[in-house]
Amino acid sequence: MPIPNMYCPNCRDTSPCATADHRTSKDFDGGEDQRKSDKRGLGINWFHRVRQCPVCSEIFATAELDEDLLVKLIDLFASTSELQGKIREYLQRRENITDSSGLPRSK
């Protein structure tokens, strides 16, 4: 099977990244099972795989999961980012019209 071209999160190159021993991962937890589940019981499951970049030698972990779930996670990430922006705007506006106690700023 050919080695797939993958994006390296370190050097940002896309090149054939071979599978590396998962025990070399910086987040190796001592477990031999590469099938992982979220610790909160949300039912999110993935396969943990470690790759090595041939350009910069970085060893990085990837997760194989159902693509529909990935799309949902991307949507949630986008919604969360949008909400955080709105909260920042609200707090900025509030700060401009109130003092640190939350009372209207006196002029």
**Interface residues toward Zn ion, by CB under 5 A:** 8, 10-11, 53, 55-56, 58
The least CB distance from residue 56 to Zn ion, in Å, is 3
Q: In angstroms, give the least distance from the CB of 48 to Zn ion.
A: 19
In contact, 41 and 50? CB cutoff 8 Å:
no
Other Cβ atoms less than 10 A from the Cβ of 53: the count is 23
Q: Among residues 12 and 93, whose Cβ is nearest to Zn ion? A: 12
Look at the alpha carbons of 34, 38, 41, 46 in this order and tell me if their dihedral is positive or negative. negative
Question: Do 64 and 46 meet the contact criterion of CB atoms below 8 Å apart?
Answer: yes
CB of 6 to Zn ion, least distance (A): 9
Contact 34, 42 (CB under 8 A): no
The nearer residue to Zn ion, 57 or 84, going by C-beta atoms, is 57
Compare residues 15 and 45 and give the one whose CB is closer to Zn ion.
15
